[in-house]
Amino acid sequence: MSRFNVQSFLFAFTVLLLTLIGQRSSHEASRVPTIHPIAKTSLAETENLELLDREGESRENVLASVHTALPTHPSLSIQAEGVLVKEIGSYEILYEVNANDAWPLASITKLMTALVAEQLIPPQTVIQISADAIAVPGIAGSLKEGEFYTKENLIRAALGISSNDAASALGEAVGYPAFIDAMRSEAHALHMMNTSFFDVTGLSSLNFGTLYDLSKLAEYIFLNEPHLLEVTRSKSFSIMEEHTHVSHTIVNNNEFAGSPWFLGGKTGYTEDARGNLVSLVRIHDRNFVIAVFGSDDRFGETRKVIDYLQDL
């Protein structure tokens, strides 16, 4: 075979080999599933993220790809350690600052406490306030040792005035270790993978989580147990002691309570956490979660976001 023919043969063989490789690559690419956002609930969102994880992309990379949808604006100059804005039922995070950084939850913990108490304790169960419950720091709710309250009223005190005594009594009614285990299990069920619970009140800084996880909890309660949020919308409410039938009025500690656009929420404060706040709001017939961590003006920071959303 001449040198020319050898070169021609090698050239033809090379072209054929590259063509076969290209066809195989195209075939393999066609087998890679296309992942589309699921715009239903935060649980569907998490399942979608887990699917991406299984395809080899890390959760951090997935979350980093969710860009801020609200354009930069002076009114959104947030000073808090973290903030997250998300429309309920939507996959997209509209605005976030450090939304995946762990932070002490403080009394935001009581959203999970209330949810677990609602699930584990039968309706109209009457619970006696123990000396141990009263000994927990904080006097909100004005509960006294030996008094009796229904589960429902203790949940209202825990959410509406952030009563540590009420939250502790709910934990004791189930058994404290079992109650904490249930909180952790519920967090796992809601795919709150970067959240941990060590007490029912939030006094411990070992109760920590991310704004991204917190939005899942708030959204789940709003969609599945909305009655739990009713007390958080009221400027004041009453609870009744079951043996004496004496009622006393409690003033809500949330500045947004009573506002027509406020759908519910929870405050939190400790020295380590500073001011935390999760708010569910309705603006232009759309429902949003606005969550703030580590702020010296949690209501002011939240109002910046509300004002901006109202102008859209």
Q: Are residues 209 and 293 in the same domain?
A: yes
pLDDT score at 26: 41
pLDDT score at 140: 76
| SS3 assignment, position 213 | helix
Residue 42 above 50 pLDDT? no
173: in domain: yes
Give the confidence band of 142 by pLDDT, cuts at 50, 70, 90. Answer: confident
Half-sphere exposure of 81 (CA within 13 A, CB side): 18
Q: Are residues 254 and 116 in the same domain?
A: yes
Mean pLDDT for 150-156 is 98
Domain hosting 299: range is 103-311
Q: Are residues 1 and 126 in the same domain?
A: no
Q: Are residues 11 and 150 in the same domain?
A: no
Q: How many CB atoms lie within 10 A of CB 281?
A: 23
121: in domain: yes
Instruction: Please name the residues in contact with 254: beta carbons below 8 A apart, sequence gap of 6 or more.
Output: 232, 265, 266, 267
Residue 48 above 60 pLDDT? no
Mean pLDDT for 242-252 is 94
Q: What helix, strand, coil percent values describe the chain, rounded to 5?
A: 45, 20, 35
Domain count, the chain: 2
Residue 233 above 90 pLDDT? yes
Give the confidence band of 73 by pLDDT, cuts at 50, 70, 90. Answer: low
Residue 55 above 70 pLDDT? no
256: in domain: yes
206: in domain: yes
The CATH number covering residue 158 comes to: 3.40.710.10
60: in domain: no
Residue 92 above 90 pLDDT? no
Mean pLDDT for 120-149 is 93
71: in domain: no
Which tops the pLDDT comparison, 149 or 308? 149
